[in-house]
Amino acid sequence: MFKNLFRRQLPGTVDSVGPADFPELDTAAELLTAPSAMMQLSLAEARAVARYMRPRFIREGTVFIREGDAEGTGFMVLVLDGEVTVENIVVSRVSPITVTVLGAGSMHGELGLIDGLPRSASCTASSDLHCVTLTREGMLQLLKDEPKLGAKLMMAIAMSVAGRLRDNTEKLKKYVQLTMAMQQEIDHLMPA
């Protein structure tokens, strides 16, 4: 489904995994130079990395990653412009819970790209989205052609996942506190 979606938009480029130039290259490169404790991509390095990605336009309202999907896990998205709503389905609730809304510079789908497991959340374009995608094949090609740059990109991806894990941990702590407070209220309200 996603492959078809992308194929429609950029005919003939889907199977190419090597480096390529495109108009959004510089924007993608700039967004990849986010600082890290360990190492940082220079703008020149980020440009070289971004050439293994491919520009995509995603129309507002499109669900481009769907929670539970075990098939379309071979790509990640770097947002250049626009906003993405990340949502989780919770059993016993009608509408999904919004995890977060993320804009330019955010990555989506790195987990699946890395481990190939089913998608852990759904991502919807909450505005028209300009972005670049990196396929697993593109990543492997980069690691083969330019291992040092591949390692730095891997690092940037790990940073993104680490940031989300930190956010998530903070949320979990708040939920633990909330359930404790609610339990107290229930104990208080319960007839003796």
The reply to whether 182 sits near its own copies by the rule CB under 8 A is yes
Number of CB atoms found within 10 A of residue 189's CB:
7
C-beta of residue 157 within 8 angstroms of C-beta of residue 49: no
Q: Does 140 bind its own copies (CB under 8 A)?
A: yes
Q: Which residue's entry shows tokens 């995603």?
A: 58
Scanning 50-58, 77-85, 109-117, 123-131 for contacts with its own copies by CB under 8 A, the matching segment is: 109-117
Distances (CA, A) of 161 to 37, 145, 174: 15, 24, 20
3-state SS assignment for residue 88:
strand
Q: Considering only residues 34-63, where is the footprint of its own copies by CB under 8 A?
A: 36-39
Query: Is residue 4 a contact point for its own copies (CB under 8 A)?
Result: no
Residues 43 and 24: their CA atoms lie apart, in Å, by: 14
Amino acid letter, residue 56: R
61 neighbors 122 (Cβ within 8 angstroms): no
For its own copies, the closer of residues 16 and 88 by Cβ is: 88
Q: How far is the CB of 183 from its own copies (least distance, A)?
A: 7
Contact predicate 99/164, CB 8 Å: no
94 binds its own copies (CB under 8 A): no
* Count of positions on this chain that bind its own copies (CB under 8 A): 57
In this chain, which of 27, 114, 141, 145 binds its own copies, going by CB under 8 A?
114
Which positions lie near its own copies, rule CB under 8 A? 36-39, 73, 88, 90-93, 97, 110-111, 113-117, 120-121, 136, 139-140, 143, 147-148, 150-151, 154-155, 157-159, 161-166, 168-169, 171-173, 175-183, 185-186, 189-190
